[in-house]
Amino acid sequence: MNLALAFLHDRGEISDDDYYKWRLSDEESIRRIGFRNFQSPLYGEEEWAAWNVIREVCSREYRVGEHTVSGAQLLLDERGDVVIETGVNLDLVGKIKEVVNGFLDSPKFKLELQGRNRNSWQKDMASYKARNIEPPYQDFDGFMEYLYRHINVGVVVINQDGEIVAYIGGKEFFQGENEEAESVESDEPKIIIDLMNKQATITPSSTVKPIIAYYTMVAANADLETDYLDKPLEYKYVESAGREVWLPRNWFPYDANHFMGRKYSLLEAQVLSVNTIFAGLYSNRAVRNAMLLGLDKIGLEYNKEDAKYWPFGIGASDLPVRPWLGVYNAFLDGYYRQPAFVKRITVDGVPVYERQSDPAKKPVMLFDSKQERENEMYALYEVCNRGTGASMKTEFKYHKNLVSGKTGTAPTGQSALFVSHFNPYRDRQAYRDKNMTMIVAIKTNTGGEKSVGTSTQGPTIIAGRIYDYLFRKELQTMMDEKIEAAKQNNPHFRDNHLYWANVNRYMEYLLNEDFEKKPIFKSIIGVDAYREVLEQILSPSNKIYTGRDDLFAQLVQYYCDQDRVVRMQTPVTRETGEQEGNLDE
């Protein structure tokens, strides 16, 4: 609307008074004219996507008929019906906003923030005073209020083709710190922080480790069972510690089970996220060169000086957010695709831009060694099955073998992230259109000695809630389709409400009950497996839907026994066996 008003004002078709009367300068103006009700601390439902689409459209020129136009001319001057197609799903965007808001408002998160900062807030205050700056708080309660007010959350979801399907860039921050600034009626200027925009960077921290692991297998003749020693690389004075210490340091304390000098397989080093091992692997010239060659191949921007040294190998140097999401997306089939909003633009039905034919968006083979890529995907599953990513199980208990990814927490906890893949179906190749790659990042925009918590306290929780929603939605859709088909094809089933109730009862049992003291859902993985079970329940040949509890019990035992056989045939790793972790990286 503002673009249209500016266009009319420049042409002299509306007066100055009309222009300033109708120009939308803040959310209160939008509320006043009744566009929609903003009840969220996050920006409007589609605003992050809309503005990024406009920026993307304006970043190139287009051939329309016999003439070339800029993106701005296409949007403002071109006569005809200009249609911009994206993959953005506004329903999913709305759900993600709801999840993020619920997480930020939760007492549990606020308590975790208090615990993470109680011993460091005075260091933060001292850092202000050392720069002759008055701290924006006076005590711990004031510190916590200031920290909480400046926490930013971003979420980006892409499909396997690299199309952005959901985008939450962040929130509004007020420049001032007075109480009136919290009111929408305040004239205090606001800053919109887009945590995930095209120029945004973030500290990748431990999410860099799977990339190093892949190139270790490719360039150093290793596999997931190759052992490496947990040993530091240098002895150095660290100001924060006030003494000389061995570096790098691991996030976990050493004890009888985890001690310096212990051997870990490449798989377990990722599951446990052992800093010393990955710093050492990156120090291998062949591994480092192979990795940087791959990053250069896709045009990833990184600090070339930082990349010479081992801290780069534990993710200590900032990288651009969206391309990093594209790197993780490449684990699905090997190809890097630059994440983007716009997939097609037409003018009066005639295409003037198509992403699939844009040379700048052409897929680039990044992980070209199929065996090593598949090995690494297995490791990413294990990270989420029983490693640092398994903390999502409090929100998404059906995550086993449906989520693969890696967590990361920056030094002092100034940012935390989780980059992951998800498909509600176990067979990802058969349901490629359901594949998605997501990054969840939490960050403070104030710097200093402030911690937003760890990846297991924030990003994995948010991701788990999003994935739980998507899984249940896909499961319900599948059930509705199968039950409706049974009604159409089976007169015996069609009009019998008791039979329908039996089906729902059996499915609820599969999702929530135990068999031999083990949750059944751990043996039935993915919507595709639940569909197989439902087809057996609905089959007119065995008529389980009529209330045949005996046959249903046999069906449950069959699936649980099948899972037991698969687990017996799968090698159990030496260090952790079958135990699920709830690690805090």
Give 311-329 pLDDT, tens digit per residue: 999 999 999 999 999 999 9
User: Which residues, other chains included, contact 28 with Cβ-Cβ below 8 Å and sequence gap of 6+?
Assistant: 184, 185
* Average pLDDT of the segment spanning 344-354: 95
Question: Would you state the pLDDT for residue 68?
Answer: 95
Lowest mean pLDDT among 17-26, 86-95, 192-201, 537-546: 17-26
Lowest mean pLDDT among 2-16, 213-227, 240-254, 334-348: 240-254
What whole-number percentage of the chain has pLDDT above 90? 66
E runs forming strands in 280-402: 319-320, 335-336, 342-347, 350-354, 364-365
Element spanning 31, H or E: helix 27-32
Lowest mean pLDDT among 224-233, 258-267, 451-460: 258-267
Q: Is pLDDT at 34 greater than 80 in this prediction?
A: no
**Residue 145: is it exposed, middle or buried by C-beta count within 10 angstroms (0-12/13-18/19+)?**
middle
Q: Is pLDDT at 581 greater than 70 in this prediction?
A: no
Instruction: With beta carbons less than 8 A apart as the criterion, state whether 303 and 317 touch.
Output: yes
Question: Would you state the pLDDT for residue 35?
Answer: 42
Question: Would you state the pLDDT for residue 319?
Answer: 96
Give 79-92 pLDDT, tens digit per residue: 889 999 999 998 99
Question: Would you state the pLDDT for residue 11?
Answer: 86
E runs forming strands in 451-517: 514-515
Closest CA to 418 of 379, 469, 462: 462
Q: Is pLDDT at 120 greater than 80 in this prediction?
A: yes
Question: Would you state the pLDDT for residue 504?
Answer: 95
Give 488-520 pLDDT, tens digit per residue: 999 989 889 999 999 999 999 999 999 999 999
Question: Would you state the pLDDT for residue 284?
Answer: 96
Instruction: With beta carbons less than 8 A apart as the criterion, state whether 376 and 405 touch.
Output: no
Question: Would you state the pLDDT for residue 170?
Answer: 82
Q: Is pLDDT at 536 greater than 70 in this prediction?
A: yes
Element spanning 439, H or E: strand 436-444
Question: Would you state the pLDDT for residue 565?
Answer: 57
- What is this structure's pTM? 0.87
Instruction: Look up residue 336 and give its amino acid.
Output: Y
Tally of CB atoms within 10 A around 546: 13
Length of the chain: 585
Higher pLDDT, 499 or 187: 499
Question: Rounded distance, CA 238 to CA 247, Å?
Answer: 9
Cα dihedral 138, 141, 144, 149 sign: negative
Over the chain, what is the mean pLDDT?
87
Q: Is pLDDT at 188 greater than 60 in this prediction?
A: no
Q: What does the DSSP 8-state code read for residue 388? A: G
Instruction: With beta carbons less than 8 A apart as the criterion, state whether 415 and 203 touch.
Output: yes
**Cis before residue 248, ω within 30 degrees of 0?**
yes
Question: Rounded distance, CA 156 to CA 165, Å?
Answer: 8
Lowest mean pLDDT among 191-200, 304-313, 468-477: 191-200
Give 202-259 pLDDT, tens digit per residue: 999 999 999 999 999 999 999 999 999 999 877 776 666 677 776 777 777 777 777 7
Question: Would you state the pLDDT for residue 564?
Answer: 64
* Average pLDDT of the segment spanning 142-155: 92
Question: Would you state the pLDDT for residue 402?
Answer: 98
What whole-number percentage of the chain has pLDDT above 70? 87
What are the structure tokens assigned to 260, written together? 């310096």
Q: Is pLDDT at 40 greater than 70 in this prediction?
A: no
Tally of CB atoms within 10 A around 37: 9
Half-sphere exposure of 456 (CA within 13 A, CB side): 20
Instruction: With beta carbons less than 8 A apart as the criterion, state whether 338 and 361 touch.
Output: yes
Is 172 strand, coil or helix?
A: strand
pLDDT band at residue 577, thresholds of 50, 70 and 90? very low
Question: Would you state the pLDDT for residue 413?
Answer: 85
CA 157 centroid distance within chain: 7
pLDDT band at residue 566, thresholds of 50, 70 and 90? low
b/e map of 287-324 (b: 16 or more CB within 10 Å)?
bbebbbebbeebebebeeeebeebbbbbbbbbbbbbbb
